């Protein structure tokens, strides 16, 4: 039997060395440090049983069968091994307001905002408040439930860039999803037995049995008590009350960005909210690019792009997170620490992302999408369901085209294995990582920001990343289309003080070892015609035309090659973007217009943001870049 179901005996004893167990089969001993962690979690949360996850296909099938039995998921019969979960409507997104970093000193976590304003760059909690919050939530929270122990790896097992974690959770949905999103189970346990460090992750849905109130959609959660806490000094994550992926799959944003960004600072590398793609030109020359976009800016679409330019090829290394470290030759190398895609479903279609559609056709967990009567999925952006096909919305209610409410929740998700992507890069699991030639920042900016520009230098590029702004998205609880500051697309994910983060990025150009810094660019696919409100650029596969210019700039011999200097950076010179074969007429003049009044206002907004939100922690180099922009826009 591959499932290790362990019954706890409430006495001092050992799972490995720490928790007494009686098992249905022989129990492999847990490494002592893992056993200590599990014992502490068991003593606090009081589960009725413990299951050490082995990660085998048989075990996964058993977990899914249990979820189906409990009404948490149902099988989508149209596809091979695809499942649909509907959450409690109060548990549908990351909850930034309840996501905190716990450190001794507040300034280790966030810059202190001017004039008593609230920080937009993270939430700090004191150690004493955290202890009190923990005491109000975790004791006895798993009563009547099974605690699953998930040993997992962020990155290929054995890579020098890889980090390890152990998550305990009372959610089998989390186990099924972590099996897709991470490398999980016995191979990782074997690595932990060698004594490697690991991040301790504790998660509970916060609904001990017997229930005191009925569940909504058979989905256990405790929305009033949600709290996602990170302790970077001790490499711990504790998440309570939410079953939604961004709050409960602790290898994802919690570990791979918030905790990893702090580990990266301590160890001299970068953990970033970036896709990684390989692009090959018709001559067979290949480059790798990392790109940071906030949610709903086409990150997954770019990572899996089908280029509209003949002879060009894009391959996907990852669509969300990049861990990057300089090798001995001074080249920045990146791995995708994840093993799957956790993508926003609405808007994904054969038109926008055919490769994603192929990826999610099997072995996929869908959450809060619509369901068709023939056992399929449906969401906004897909072709209308065939006549005679009934549709059920994410609430489980009958839905018809033209209904006042959306069929799928705007932040509904697919969770699919990366290896299924038809254009997964051959090097996506390379232990040394792939060499990065360019870093791209981008956002959803309806006006003023050109289609693409290149920074003047690494220092200026760090400023460009710090100055990123974008329309807010459905991935968090913000409402409405407001332009928000989202530096490096990391605003909700910084694991430490943003000023120190900028200093860390700037330090890359001062490395003592040989260093080949990537070039830094900014793109904006979302500029609109002010007269009609329609997008000026067709986007999707046509974005290959922009990547072609970036590709050429990476191999340039002169600074002004195929480019002209503007007040914000190097923009393509006339004709440098290949427009042959564009199906629609594109106003390139409007796309590349850099209006001074807009940028005067932008500089003013940035000055206000940096002054209020970063204050004394703003590095002098970034202040100098802002001053230089202010001078250029007023010349």
For 95, 137, 508, the CA distances from 243, given in Å and listed in that order, are 12, 15, 38
Residue 40 is inside which H or E element, if any? helix 32-45
Compute the C-alpha angle 139/142/146, nearest 5°.
150
Out of 164, 173, 244, 501, pick the active-site residue. 244
Q: What dihedral angle (degrees, nearest 10) is formed by the CA atoms of 357, 360, 362, 368?
A: -120
Out of 253, 258, 409, 522, pick the active-site residue. 253
Out of 18, 171, 295, 412, pick the active-site residue. 295
409 catalytic per annotation? no
301 and 411 Cβ atoms separated by less than 8 Å: no
- For 156-186, letters b (16+ CB in 10 Å) and e give beebebbbbbbbbbbbbbbbbbbbbbbbbbb
295 catalytic per annotation? yes
Out of 297, 407, 415, 421, pick the active-site residue. 297
Distance of CA 629 to the CA centre of its chain: 31
413 catalytic per annotation? yes
221 catalytic per annotation? no
Out of 252, 265, 273, 445, pick the active-site residue. 273
Longest pairwise C-alpha distance within the chain? 77
- For 353-368, letters b (16+ CB in 10 Å) and e give bbbbbbbbeebbbbbb
273 catalytic per annotation? yes
69 catalytic per annotation? no
253 catalytic per annotation? yes
Three-state helix/strand/coil letters over 450-513: CCEEECCCHHHHHHHHHCCEEECCCCCCCCCCCEEECHHHCCCCCCCCHHHHHHHHHHHHHCCC
Tokens of residue 435, six digits: 């060499």
> What span, in angstroms and rounded, lies between the C-alpha atoms of 8 and 23?
9
Out of 86, 94, 137, 200, pick the active-site residue. 94
407 catalytic per annotation? no
Out of 88, 91, 320, 486, pick the active-site residue. 320
> What span, in angstroms and rounded, lies between the C-alpha atoms of 420 and 362?
8
Bridge partners, 391 (sequence order): 372, 399
| CB burial of residue 202 (10 Å; 0-12, 13-18, 19+) | buried
Tell me whether the omega of the peptide bond preceding residue 210 falls within 30 degrees of 0, making it cis.
yes
> What span, in angstroms and rounded, lies between the C-alpha atoms of 568 and 576?
18
Compute the C-alpha angle 278/453/587, nearest 5°.
100
Bridge partners, 380 (sequence order): 382
Residue 290 is inside which H or E element, if any? strand 286-292
Distance of CA 561 to the CA centre of its chain: 35
Out of 98, 258, 413, 504, pick the active-site residue. 413
> What span, in angstroms and rounded, lies between the C-alpha atoms of 598 and 576?
25
Question: What residues are labeled active site?
Answer: 94, 244, 253, 273, 295, 297, 320, 413
């Amino acid at each position: 039997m591959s499932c290790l179901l362990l019954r706890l005996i409430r006495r001092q004893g050992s799972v490995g060395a720490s928790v007494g167990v009686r098992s249905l089969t022989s129990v492999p001993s847990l490494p002592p440090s893992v056993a200590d962690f599990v014992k502490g979690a068991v003593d606090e949360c009081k589960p009725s049983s413990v299951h050490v996850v082995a990660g085998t296909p048989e075990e996964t099938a058993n977990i899914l069968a249990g979820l189906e039995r409990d009404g948490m998921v149902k099988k989508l019969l149209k596809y091979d091994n695809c499942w649909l979960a509907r959450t409690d409507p109060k548990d549908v997104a990351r909850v930034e307001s309840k996501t905190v970093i716990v450190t001794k000193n507040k300034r280790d976590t966030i810059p202190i905002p001017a004039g008593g304003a609230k920080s937009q760059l993270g939430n700090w909690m004191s150690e004493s408040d955290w202890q009190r919050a923990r005491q109000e939530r975790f004791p006895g929270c798993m009563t009547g439930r099974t605690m699953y122990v998930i040993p997992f790896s962020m990155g290929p097992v054995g890579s020098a860039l890889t980090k390890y974690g152990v998550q305990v959770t009372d959610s089998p949905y989390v186990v099924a999803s972590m099996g897709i999103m991470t490398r999980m189970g016995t191979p990782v346990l074997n690595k932990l037995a060698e004594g490697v460090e690991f991040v301790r992750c504790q998660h509970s849905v916060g609904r001990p049995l017997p229930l005191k109130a009925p569940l909504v959609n058979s989905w256990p959660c405790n929305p009033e008590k949600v709290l996602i806490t990170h302790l970077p000094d001790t490499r711990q994550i504790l998440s309570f009350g939410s079953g939604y992926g961004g709050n409960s799959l602790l290898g994802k944003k919690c570990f791979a960005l918030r905790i990893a960004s702090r580990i990266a600072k301590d160890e001299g590398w970068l953990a970033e909210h970036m896709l990684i793609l390989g692009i090959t030109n018709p001559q067979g020359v290949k480059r790798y690019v990392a790109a940071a976009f906030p949610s709903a800016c086409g990150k997954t679409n770019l990572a899996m792009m089908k280029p509209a330019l003949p002879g060009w090829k894009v391959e996907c290394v990852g669509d969300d997170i990049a861990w990057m470290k300089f090798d001995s030759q001074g080249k920045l190398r990146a791995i995708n620490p994840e093993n799957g895609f956790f993508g926003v479903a609405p808007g994904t279609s054969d038109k926008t992302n055919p490769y994603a559609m192929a990826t999610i056709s099997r072995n996929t967990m869908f959450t809060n999408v619509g369901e068709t009567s023939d056992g399929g999925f449906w969401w906004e952006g897909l072709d209308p369901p065939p006549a005679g096909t009934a549709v059920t919305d994410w609430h489980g209610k009958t839905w018809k085209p033209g209904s006042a409410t959306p069929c799928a929740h705007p932040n509904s998700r697919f969770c699919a294995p990366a290896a299924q992507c038809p254009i997964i890069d051959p090097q996506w699991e390379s232990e040394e990582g792939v060499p990065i030639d360019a870093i791209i920042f981008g956002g959803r900016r309806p006006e003023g920001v050109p289609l693409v520009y290149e920074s003047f230098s690494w220092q200026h590029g760090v400023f460009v990343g710090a100055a990123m702004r974008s329309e807010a998205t459905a991935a968090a609880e913000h409402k409405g289309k407001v332009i928000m500051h989202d530096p490096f697309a990391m605003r909700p994910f910084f694991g430490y003080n943003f000023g120190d983060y900028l200093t860390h990025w700037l330090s890359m150009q001062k490395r003592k070892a040989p260093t080949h810094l990537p070039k830094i660019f900014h793109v904006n696919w979302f500029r609109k015609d002010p007269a009609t409100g329609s997008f000026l650029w067709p986007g999707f596969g046509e974005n290959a035309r922009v990547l072609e210019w970036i590709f050429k700039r990476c191999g340039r011999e002169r600074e002004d090659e195929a480019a002209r200097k503007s007040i914000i950076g190097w923009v393509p010179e006339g004709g440098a973007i290949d427009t042959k074969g564009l199906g629609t007429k594109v106003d390139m003049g409007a796309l590349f217009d850099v209006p001074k009044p807009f940028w005067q206002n932008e500089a003013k907004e940035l000055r206000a943001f940096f002054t209020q939100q970063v204050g004394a922690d703003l590095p002098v180099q970034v202040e100098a870049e802002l001053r230089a922009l202010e001078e250029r826009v007023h010349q």
